[in-house]
Structure 1
């Protein structure tokens, strides 16, 4: 096995959120896949939603990369493995190129991956060139693939934008304004692709919109100008099969859809068998040794979740048997007595934890955080538009923010339930992860 694996790679970033990164990344992936190229796509940052679109576009699982949460060695391993199979690797950034700590630019610099900047040019002309130049030169030595103008009005507008670019080779084309290319959104981001009947058709339209760009004119060999020599990862840590012989039932449907593919792999590496079920549609939880209620959109499906009486009784039976339950964010919300919508309407929920969840128009929590357990640090993040009002007497601990010394999310425990707004990245600490699904563990 060689020490390095060469593969072209492009990091698709932007000056800010809302520039069209996901649309463009999906379009590039689909357009090139239609031409016979093998595309592997990653999402930078702790994002659950965009990977659904990226996976549909590339027809391949999409994994998260994050220099802090997943760690540089994990990124190294994933990229090396992808380089063995792919003709091109695409990474979609988060927020703006230099936003966050660590930022997308830091990963690009670390792995020498060239940045393709997507810029919403709908309200600019010459300033487009200044913005592109600033992104390119703000940090010395940043690998650069150029710019792609998005939401361009006319051919004449495209010519003005192109003429504003200092280096002609930086121009990768224009995508013209089209309302059909906009993705539907809601409070936590884009609507998930699987929820839309025309999700695949939208992606095909994204690809069609890119057919007149410079990228569409490139063949496999032309992309080699963005080659990266991905290094063979260091020897992986030895993982104790702490969950060997354990079956973990995982809620997965429209209400519970925030699941990292890598977290499922981590549970399997720990020796667990995984079974899925739908709290909305199934009558009972499958036979299991532990239950995971991940995040999602329970606030959109309160009637279906509360109305499934058989499922509520099934979960109550698990509690009576002291079956461990790990509930994160949306999964935790369902365990309280009610979810109160932003307009003040109360929706009864399962009632296994005393208190209410109040939806609001502003963010209730955002950012990278970590818990310090007896087993060590477990990394993750939080992102929610609700707050929890409860008199629960036990808050085991609170997560810590990497951006400040202040406390983050509470971790509640009541009987076999452990619940928090915190979304865990399981492979950051396998022993701490196992403790979430084992009875009589010390946190």
Structure 2
């Protein structure tokens, strides 16, 4: 401490102007003393408040420009530094430095000119931020067309200081550069701002809205017409009743198509090409269609069955005289001819192409496999039917 005091004394003696004022110029000393007292008046007032009432207080004086020569400082009464350390984790000196940086940045950005193409966007942000702040509702949108209903009556806030020369519309809809700049300057300077309405003003707005007629929304230009269908008039005449009866008869005569499997259709088509009608499958159908015959006419039935069967031609190379005897496994041979053998090329193609489940090739392949399984089943049933016919023929011959 004595060393610091000696350094201060040396600095004072080195200052010629100060020594001259101390020794010879009493008027200059009075001005310096008054300036010092004015600068520390707030500190003295806090000290007097603290001593008289026991209250604490603090304040800071910082510069608002990087080019300013003002020395930033802090004054207070009480354990302010302990409070800042406990709740904000900063000292008083650090808080003063942060406040100084923020003030200089805001001043510099405020003096920076905003381009005209961004003034509309900045104005919209100023209006929305002020609305959310004063209404305490986040993500609130501004309504210009229904301003009285959605903003004033609903939230009890209003805009004050909107320029009279500018119509009350969204800033993005303004086209004149002078109007955009005027509106931006009004919101930037604080001339246009949000304020809370009084209860009387809010009541008056609600009464005005109650007297107004509801505004119908205009129809869009791309809106389509009505999709309602015109109903036919119901006539009380007899002709109308007859027409209705005819329509009911037409609906009653409608029969849906029967769903047949692909195997039955193809087998029927192949038999039709050979000149025969499609026959039913299964043992039960044959047993039901077979009449109960006695021993006397068993031989006649067997001869009739043989006559009904047509001879099978082996190929076109054989002469007409050499006719092949009718085979008993004729139906199974027809079914075998329909199934085409799988060539080696097709097998290689199947190996190369890996089908993913659910794709079109996979579905086609599964359908082909199902058809092959159906044909194999039909062949087995045909062979069993032929065996039954042979047994029945043998029994009838006996």
Give the structure with the higher percent helix: 2
Q: RCO (CA 8 Å, sep 6+): is it higher in 1 or 2?
A: 1
With normalisation by structure 1, the TM-score equals 0.17
Query: Between Structure 1 and Structure 2, whose CA radius of gyration is higher?
Result: 2
Give the structure with the higher percent strand: 1
